[in-house]
Structure 1
Amino acid sequence: MDLNNKVALVTGGGTGIGKATSFALAERGAVVVVNYSRSHAEAEETVQAILDGGGRAMAVQANVANDEEVRRMVDAAAQRYGAVDVLVNNASITRHIPLDDLESANDEAWDELFQVNVKGMFYCARAVAAWMNKNGQGAIVNLGSIAGSTGSGSSLPYAVSKSAVHGLTKSLARALAPHIQVNCVIPGAVETRWWEGREEQMRRLAPNLLLQRLAAPEDIAECICAVLAQEAMTGQTITVDSGQTL
Structure 2
Amino acid sequence: MSLSPLSGKVAVILGGTGGIGFAAGDALARLGASIVLAGRNHDGAASAAAALPAGNHLAASAEIRDSASLRELAASVLHHYGRIDILVNAAGFTRAVPHADLDALDDDLIDELFAVNWRGQFAAIRAFAPHLRAGGDGLVVNVGSIAGRNGQGSNVAYCAAKAGLDAMAMSLGRALAPEIRVLNVSPGVVDTDFVPGRDAAFNERAARTTPLKRIGRAQDVAEAIAACATTLRFATGTTLVVDGGRLLG
TM-score when normalising by structure 1: 0.95
In structure 1, the partner of 2:28 is 25
Q: One-letter code of the match for 1:118?
A: W
Instruction: Kindly indicate whether the alpha-carbon contact (under 8 Å) linking 1:14 and 1:44 is maintained by their aligned counterparts in 2.
Output: no
Instruction: Kindly indicate whether the alpha-carbon contact (under 8 Å) linking 1:15 and 1:42 is maintained by their aligned counterparts in 2.
Output: no
Question: How many angstroms does 1:245 deviate by?
Answer: 1.0
Partner Cα distance (1:223, 1:240) in 2? 7
Please list the CA deviations of residues 78-120 of structure 1 after superposition, one character each: whole Å capped at 9, or x if unmatched: 1100011000111011121100111111110111011111110
Aligned to 1:9, what secondary structure does the other structure show?
strand
Structure 2: where are the runs of 5+ without partners? Answer: none
Partner Cα distance (2:245, 2:73) in 1? 37
Of the candidates 229, 232, 238, which is equivalent to residue 236 of structure 1? 238
Question: How many angstroms does 1:2 deviate by?
Answer: 3.8
Please list the CA deviations of residues 145-173 of structure 1 after superposition, one character each: whole Å capped at 9, or x if unmatched: 01101011100110001000111111111
Partner Cα distance (1:89, 1:198) in 2? 23
Partner Cα distance (1:209, 1:133) in 2? 39
Q: Which stretch shifts more, 211-220 or 128-137?
A: 128-137
Question: How many angstroms does 1:197 deviate by?
Answer: 3.4
In structure 2, the partner of 1:54 is 54
In structure 1, the partner of 2:113 is 113
Partner Cα distance (1:197, 1:159) in 2? 18
Partner Cα distance (1:196, 1:97) in 2? 11
Instruction: Kindly indicate whether the alpha-carbon contact (under 8 Å) linking 1:26 and 1:56 is maintained by their aligned counterparts in 2.
Output: no
Aligned to 1:186, what secondary structure does the other structure show?
strand
In structure 2, the partner of 1:223 is 224
Q: Does 1:16 align with 2:7?
A: no
Question: How many angstroms does 1:14 deviate by?
Answer: 1.4
In structure 1, the partner of 2:125 is 125
- Which 4+ runs in 1 deviate beyond 3 A? none
Q: Does 1:204 align with 2:176?
A: no
Instruction: Kindly indicate whether the alpha-carbon contact (under 8 Å) linking 1:34 and 1:60 is maintained by their aligned counterparts in 2.
Output: yes
Q: Does 1:7 align with 2:35?
A: no
TM-score when normalising by structure 2: 0.94
Partner Cα distance (1:25, 1:203) in 2? 30
Partner Cα distance (1:47, 1:80) in 2? 16
Overall identity of the aligned pairs, in %: 38
Question: How many angstroms does 1:54 deviate by?
Answer: 2.1
Aligned to 1:182, what secondary structure does the other structure show?
strand
Of the candidates 37, 40, 63, which is equivalent to residue 40 of structure 2? 37
In structure 1, the partner of 2:145 is 145
Partner Cα distance (2:190, 2:29) in 1? 22
In structure 2, the partner of 1:90 is 90
Aligned to 2:190, what secondary structure does the other structure show?
coil
Question: How many angstroms does 1:42 deviate by?
Answer: 3.6
Instruction: Kindly indicate whether the alpha-carbon contact (under 8 Å) linking 2:39 and 2:45 is maintained by their aligned counterparts in 1.
Output: yes
